[in-house]
């Protein structure tokens, strides 16, 4: 086990499979080297099957903005018309040797890398466009306009990462088993798990 904790950050476009991969990683390491899943804060609406305090902390825009003023967030951003943010306590956890896994957007990762690069392991989850399109359609959680915005943003984010790489690792997630295997290898290396 490493002396200091790390924040394993998964990022990628909407529909890339970040949440599914995060849960699978936590399950894989739960007995040997538990990874605390960072429950981030958001102002977006709860989706079917989600629960407050488990998937996200769902707060109002006013509550979120108050937390910004209080310096509660290590990083926060406005994406898809909603706020998302991670608590500042992540740094203290790393200093105490605890590792965690979080899902953040590109701007959140940039913020973490500027504040505490020694704690961050950044992983871009990529998916072929046709697979991404099918996944977003299958979700059926948004109207056509929102679906189209997410697809357009996915193209922009993918292009940004190709032109100006930010992440330490790029893990394709067109085949879930292959992606999970690669992520397990990354976590073992980065956390120095023997």
Query: Does the structure show a pLDDT above 80 at 11?
Result: yes
Q: In a 10 Å sphere around its CB, with 0-12 CB exposed, 13-18 middle and 19+ buried, how is residue 107 labelled?
A: middle
Give residue-wise pLDDT tens across range 43-93: 999 988 899 999 899 999 999 999 999 999 999 988 778 999 999 999 999
Evaluate whether 61 touches 83 at the Cβ level (below 8 Å). Answer: yes
User: What is the domain partition of the chain in residue ranges?
Assistant: 7-38+96-190
Query: Does the structure show a pLDDT above 60 at 2?
Result: no
Give residue-wise pLDDT tens across range 90-108: 999 999 999 999 999 888 8
Q: How confident is the model at residue 33 (pLDDT cuts 50, 70, 90)?
A: confident
Give residue-wise pLDDT tens across range 116-163: 999 999 999 988 877 666 766 676 666 777 767 777 777 778 788 888
Torsion angles phi and psi, residue 82, rounded to 5: -130, 155
Find the helix or strand (DSSP H, E) in which 8 lies.
Answer: strand 7-11
Task: Quote the DSSP letter at residue 163.
Answer: H
CATH topology of domain 7-38+96-190: Rossmann fold (3.40.50)
pLDDT value of position 140: 63
Q: In a 10 Å sphere around its CB, with 0-12 CB exposed, 13-18 middle and 19+ buried, how is residue 188 labelled?
A: middle
pLDDT value of position 135: 65
């Amino acid at each position: 086990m490493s002396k200091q904790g790390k924040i394993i950050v998964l990022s990628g476009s909407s529909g890339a499979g970040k949440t599914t991969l995060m849960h699978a990683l936590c399950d894989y390491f739960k007995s040997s080297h538990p990874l605390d899943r960072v429950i981030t804060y958001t102002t977006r609406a709860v989706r079917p099957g989600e629960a407050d305090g488990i998937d996200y902390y769902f707060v109002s825009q006013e509550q979120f903005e108050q937390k910004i003023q209080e310096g509660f967030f290590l990083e926060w951003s406005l994406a898809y018309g909603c706020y998302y943010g991670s608590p500042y306590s992540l740094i203290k956890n790393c200093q105490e040797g605890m590792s965690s896994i979080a899902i953040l957007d590109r701007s959140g990762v940039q913020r973490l890398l500027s504040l505490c690069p020694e704690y961050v392991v950044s992983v871009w989850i990529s998916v072929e466009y046709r697979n991404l399109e099918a996944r977003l359609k299958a979700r059926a959680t948004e109207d056509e306009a929102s679906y189209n915005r997410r697809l357009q943003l996915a193209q922009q984010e993918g292009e940004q990462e190709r032109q100006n790489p930010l992440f330490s690792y790029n893990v394709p997630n067109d085949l879930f088993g292959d992606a999970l295997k690669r992520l397990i290898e990354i976590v073992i290396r980065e956390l120095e798990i023997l």
